[in-house]
Amino acid sequence: MPAQPVIFAYRKADRSMGSKIMRCDQLCAMAARLGGDGHGFAVLEVPPPGAARRLRRFARQTSGAVVIGLKHAFTALPPEVFEDLRTGFAAYCIDHVDSVPEDAMLLAADAHILASFEGMRRVRARLRALGAGDRLVRHVTHHADPRLPAPAPLNHAAPDRLRAVYLGNPANTVLPRDPGLAGRITILDHLEIGFETALAELPGYNLHYAVRRTTRNRHASKPFTKGFTAAALRANILVDAGTDDARHYLGADYPFLIPSNAAGDIAAGVAHVTEAFGTAEWRRGLEAMDYVRHVSSPRHVVGELVQVLRDVA
């Protein structure tokens, strides 16, 4: 029996986005490498509305395939063009990642793939409100980036000293207001120094700072990618309980989970982790991160993806 084709589809506007690279290119490669339960995997760009010849080719390439559209993959197409393509799919899934699709696209999907458990809860609530509570809503963990360097040896980078890092756009985090506390956290802004350069520096740090700004969108949810990155590098994480999925993966008793992103909680959290470094409490945190590393590993993630494909078959 020929392999069931699975197409990861994305729109041109997302070509260079991190979510496209990770949830299309990297996930496709991981699934192909690990076998994918007999499925065949490919990545395709959704043609623009006026490209009739390319749209016909896309229709041939996706005929009989399970198509997993990344976020807003098909939103640029007129509804009738999308519906024409849709009739040829074996099934259509949306990989939401951190997006909030319009109601019409939400209802068009046979299955919804979420990279966070909080996202699953919110999508299920929306589907129930729309009278479509019977749709499949499944979880596929957001893996750690395979471009990450190998973790530093345990005796590397001054093991007697805490080295804390924030990886990402500073506009998305809440940094300590006290200059003395803020000075303990190195900022690796990948938009400024380049993503590959930022990744190469990460093994020199043993604590990842991941306190988020509060989102205003009650439907949006973020995968726990900073936790997966820290776990892949065998580091602890300082994160607030309001971060989506933090409690789920770390447990409510994780020693460096702070109550909120308020200035006082951040200051207390930085002081606490500084005092706890190298103690039994620090090691207990690393044990929790071992679990996070396991559930965000390629084999585990591909296993979740394969289960989605079985469910939609």
91 and 129 in one domain?
A: yes
Write out the H or E segment, with its range, that includes residue 93. Answer: strand 91-95
168 and 127 in one domain?
A: no
Confidence at residue 155, expressed as pLDDT on a 0 to 100 scale: 43
Asked whether 113 and 93 are in contact (CB, 8 A), the reply is yes
The residue whose two tokens read 């979420």 is 114
In-domain check, residue 159? no
Confidence at residue 105, expressed as pLDDT on a 0 to 100 scale: 93
125 and 114 in one domain?
A: yes
Tokens of 96: 């939401």
Q: What is the pTM of this model?
A: 0.93
CA atoms of 98 and 101, how far apart (whole Å): 10
189 and 90 in one domain?
A: no
Full residue range of the structural domain in which residue 194 is found: 164-295
Residue type, 172: N
Query: What CATH number did the domain enclosing 31 receive?
Result: 3.40.50
210 and 127 in one domain?
A: no
The residue whose two tokens read 């929306």 is 126
pLDDT of the chain, 313 residues: tens digit per residue: 567 899 999 999 999 999 999 999 999 999 999 988 889 999 999 999 989 999 999 999 999 999 999 999 999 999 999 999 999 999 999 999 999 999 999 999 999 999 999 999 999 999 999 999 989 999 999 999 999 998 866 544 445 689 999 999 999 999 888 777 778 899 999 889 888 899 999 999 999 999 988 876 777 799 999 999 999 999 999 999 999 999 999 999 999 999 999 999 999 999 999 999 999 999 999 999 999 999 999 999 999 999 999 999 8
User: Phi then psi for 286, rounded to 5 degrees?
Assistant: -65, -30
Question: In Å, how far from its chain's centre is CA 11?
Answer: 18
Strand order in the sheet with 5-11: 40-46, 5-11, 66-70, 91-95, 111-114, 136-139
Query: What sign for the dihedral angle of Cα 77, 78, 81, 87?
Result: positive
In-domain check, residue 155? no
In-domain check, residue 284? yes
305 and 234 in one domain?
A: no
In-domain check, residue 149? no
In-domain check, residue 287? yes
235 and 112 in one domain?
A: no
Task: List Cβ neighbours of 292 (8 Å cut-off, separation of 6 or more).
Answer: 224, 227, 228, 230, 231, 249, 250
Asked whether 236 and 208 are in contact (CB, 8 A), the reply is yes
The 3-class secondary structure across 20-66, one letter per residue, is HHHHHHHHHHHHHHCCHHHCEEEEEEECCCCCHHHHHHHHHHHCCCE
195 and 287 in one domain?
A: yes
Query: What CATH number did the domain enclosing 189 receive?
Result: 3.40.50.2000
Domain total for the chain? 2
CA atoms of 306 and 309, how far apart (whole Å): 5
264 and 225 in one domain?
A: yes
CA atoms of 239 and 250, how far apart (whole Å): 10
In-domain check, residue 83? yes
Residue type, 161: R
